[in-house]
Chains A and B, each alone.
Chain A
Amino acid sequence: MKSLLTHIPMPVRILLALLLPALLVPAFPEIAYPVFIMKVLCYALFALAFNLLIGFTGLVSFGHAAFFGWAGYTTGILMIRFGAAGFPVELAILAGMAVATAIGWLIGTLAIRRTGIYFAMITLALSQVAYFLAVQIPWTGGEDGMQGIPRGKLLGLVDLSVDNNMYYFTLAVFVAAFLAIHRIVHSPFGQALKALRDNAPRAVSLGYDTDRCKLYAFMLSAALAGLAGSLKALVLQLSALNDVMLSTSTEVLLMTLLGGLGTSWGPVVGSTLVVSLQNHLAALGGVVTVLIGLTFIVCVSFFRRGLVGEWQALLQRRDAQQHHVPVHDRTANSP
């Protein structure tokens, strides 16, 4: 048993350890309200998708709300129009992901033509177009958004309008996506991305087609962000203009930065904190923006590795002191 455990990488071990309490959530709604946990899971998935790009590829996108929001709109409109006629919810989610991937291809193709801060500005500008479209196209509901999106039946059997069923479905999707991202990051493709992030000229000289790698990473991240957006539309039964706005792109950036760029669990920790914070301070308006801004400033100035990253660094330092081994930078590999 012990030898089996040591073969499982740390992030997956943490996932397994957390699975038991996660499965028990619906039994104790007074401790953890399932809809709240589902919301956290959706945003955590969104942040994980974002981290794939910023943490492992080194590309900063200010436009991820476009994928998240438009996937939500797609799933929403399909379920509203055809949900009652038995339109499969799985297909609605896949359609959301497909739309997100297509937008990702469009924005990605343009953005990868420049690097660094230009990349960030291009994604910001193009996601602004996605926002204008959402305002102008009538079926998105404009300022009002879409409300009362039906959740449908999973495989035509399980009624997702029951919160507990929806909860287990969301949890299953999250676990699958987490494992998929873990797999991608540790695949040869993931290694190529990290090489690109750390030393682009060298990656080019080794024969990697960097543009193609970047575009694939961008589209992959967009697809997963779309998955998160579609799920969120079903969980909250709501898709609003807010989801395609810059503030959503900002939030996911904050979640990832706060938790730790390029760590496996950082985005999850960050999104849990941010979503809880928003739940408590929702009524305060401007104050939330100030708090988010201050968190950015503090993170960037004092702990750039994020909560999980700093924790790992602390453990490593302790390890090094005990065993007198030199410290290696392992931030990208451990939890």
Chain B
Amino acid sequence: MPGGGRRATDETHIMFDIPMQSLLAQLLVGLINGCFYAMLSMGLAIIFGLLNIINFAHGAQFMVAAFLAWMGFSQLPLLLGPEFKINFWAALVLAPLIVGGLGVLLEKTLLKRLYHLDHLYGLLLTFGVSLVLEGVFRHFYGISGASYDPPALLQGGIDLGFMYLPLYRGFVVVASILICGCTWFLFEKTRLGALLRAGTENPKLLQAFGVNIPLMITLTYGFGVGLAGIAGVLATPIMQVNPLMGANLLNIVFAVVVIGGLGSILGAVVSGLALGLLEGLTKVFYPEASTVVVFVIMAVVLLTRPAGLFGKEH
């Protein structure tokens, strides 16, 4: 069969000589995933630093913010009339505030009662919260995804000469690097950040100096959850909005966190971005492994540097 032979040469051609275009496209996808890993693992690291719990609800909170953005844009106008349409930019401010506020409420009512106990209980509680949130949205919206268009300002793309860059994707990269940079600056270079780091080291001593530690803890949790909220809204035009979008992402983020360690913001951001890029590269060279590459790297890191790349074992 002449046709069969020709197809085989085509395949070898693609396998050994990957076109620059598709390599760059996959790298961009990897970079964008990496941005989300970075934002989410940074939030986890911030929360872990002060509260000493792993926020299992992080993925669900991310998902709720995405849903809020989608609902504000396409559901609210149907319900209340077109003047109530909440556009992307408003959602980018409102949804994280709402989700962060809910986080504050959760911390005030339930989480704070568990600090004197084993870490296990904080983990189980936030896990329960994530199930409730996912279940509620699954009940009302099913598991099929809804789509959301990027805001008018960011539609279309620019030709960079070597590749075509959709504007919105470029915006996500810039925005998330900006957010990570600002958070890093806040924690490492300001007085407030110094207080927060002191609270991580020795909360009792800091409280003796007159700092309101419980308030600080509450606001830190709210801030970390808010970060997940921002990531959620940013993700709406890229990912399908569905109840499990956060849970799927969180599995990978946990591996990222094990690799990078929860000790530093910079570590979380760097390992998030790096692993996203690596995942993109794997998609080009060996697509079958792209779903597990992060976990394989995690295994290798555990065997060679058990404390994580940036971590210090306590």
Q: Of A70-78, A124-132, A313-321, which binds chain B? A: A124-132
Question: Are B128 and A125 touching (Cβ within 8 A)?
Answer: no
Chain B residues in 8 Å Cβ range of A132: 291-292
Please give me the 6 A-B residue pairs with the lowest Cβ-Cβ distance, nearest first. A296-B128, A293-B131, A289-B135, A286-B139, A290-B135, A286-B138
Question: Are B306 and A289 touching (Cβ within 8 A)?
Answer: no
Chain A residue with the shortest CB-CB distance to B110: A301
Residue in contact with A125 in the complex, picked from B117, B136, B255, CB distance below 8 Å: B255
Docked Cα-Cα span, A299 to B254, in Å, equals 25
Instruction: Mark B282-314 against chain A: 1 for CB-CB distance below 8 A, else 0.
Output: 000000100110011011001100110000000
Give the interface SS of chain B, mostly helix, strand, loop or mixed: helix
Question: Are A116 and B138 touching (Cβ within 8 A)?
Answer: no
Chain B residues in 8 Å Cβ range of A118: 258
CB distance from A103 to the nearest CB of B (A): 13
* B182 interface residue (CB < 8 Å to A): no
* B129 interface residue (CB < 8 Å to A): yes
* B125 interface residue (CB < 8 Å to A): yes
Question: Are B302 and A250 touching (Cβ within 8 A)?
Answer: no
Chain A residue with the shortest CB-CB distance to B247: A246
Chain A residues in 8 Å Cβ range of B79: none
Add 11 more A-B contacts to A125-B258, A300-B128, A301-B110 (CB < 8 A). Answer: A114-B258, A114-B306, A117-B119, A121-B54, A121-B255, A125-B251, A246-B251, A257-B124, A285-B138, A289-B131, A293-B129
Chain A residues in 8 Å Cβ range of B292: 129, 132
A116-142 residues with Cβ-Cβ distance < 8 A to B are 116-118, 120-122, 124-126, 128-129, 132, 136
Docked Cα-Cα span, A291 to B53, in Å, equals 23
* A161 interface residue (CB < 8 Å to B): no
Interface size on B, residues (CB 8 A): 46
Question: Are B135 and A125 touching (Cβ within 8 A)?
Answer: no
Question: Are B135 and A293 touching (Cβ within 8 A)?
Answer: yes
Chain A residues in 8 Å Cβ range of B299: 110, 126
* A287 interface residue (CB < 8 Å to B): yes
CB distance from A76 to the nearest CB of B (A): 23
Question: Are B128 and A294 touching (Cβ within 8 A)?
Answer: yes
* Contact A114 B295, CB 8 Å, known A125-B251, A293-B135, A296-B128: no
Question: Are A304 and B121 touching (Cβ within 8 A)?
Answer: yes
CB distance from B75 to the nearest CB of A (A): 18
The residue in A118, A292, A299 that gathers the most chain B C-beta atoms within 10 A of its C-beta is A118
Question: Are A125 and B131 touching (Cβ within 8 A)?
Answer: no
Instruction: Mark A250-276 against chain B: 1 for CB-CB distance below 8 A, else 0.
Output: 100100010000000000000000000
* A333 interface residue (CB < 8 Å to B): no
* B18 interface residue (CB < 8 Å to A): no
Instruction: Mark B71-102 against chain A: 1 for CB-CB distance below 8 A, else 0.
Output: 00000000000000000000000000000000
Interface size classification for chain A: 35 or more
Give B residues with C-beta under 8 Å from A.
48, 53-54, 110, 113-114, 117, 119-121, 123-125, 127-140, 243, 247, 251-252, 254-255, 257-258, 288, 291-292, 295-296, 298-299, 302-303, 306-307
Question: Are B123 and A120 touching (Cβ within 8 A)?
Answer: yes
* Contact A293 B251, CB 8 Å, known A126-B299, A304-B121: no
Chain A residues in 8 Å Cβ range of B135: 286-293
* Contact A296 B127, CB 8 Å, known A136-B288, A304-B121: yes
CB distance from A58 to the nearest CB of B (A): 8
Question: Are B251 and A124 touching (Cβ within 8 A)?
Answer: yes
Question: Are B131 and A117 touching (Cβ within 8 A)?
Answer: no
Chain B residues in 8 Å Cβ range of A124: 251, 254
Instruction: Mark A88-127 against chain B: 1 for CB-CB distance below 8 A, else 0.
Output: 0000000000000000000000100110111011101110
CB distance from A297 to the nearest CB of B (A): 4
Query: 20 pairs across A/B with beta carbons < 8 Å?
Result: A117-B48, A117-B120, A122-B302, A124-B251, A124-B254, A136-B288, A253-B124, A286-B137, A286-B138, A286-B139, A289-B131, A290-B132, A292-B128, A292-B131, A293-B129, A293-B131, A293-B134, A296-B128, A297-B110, A301-B114
A128-179 residues with Cβ-Cβ distance < 8 A to B are 128-129, 132, 136
CB distance from A23 to the nearest CB of B (A): 37
Question: Are A293 and B288 touching (Cβ within 8 A)?
Answer: no
Chain A residues in 8 Å Cβ range of B130: 293
Question: Are B125 and A287 touching (Cβ within 8 A)?
Answer: no
* A196 interface residue (CB < 8 Å to B): no
* A295 interface residue (CB < 8 Å to B): yes
Docked Cα-Cα span, A266 to B136, in Å, equals 29
CB distance from B312 to the nearest CB of A (A): 13
Chain A residues in 8 Å Cβ range of B140: 286
Residue in contact with A128 in the complex, picked from B132, B137, B295, CB distance below 8 Å: B295
Question: Are A300 and B124 touching (Cβ within 8 A)?
Answer: yes
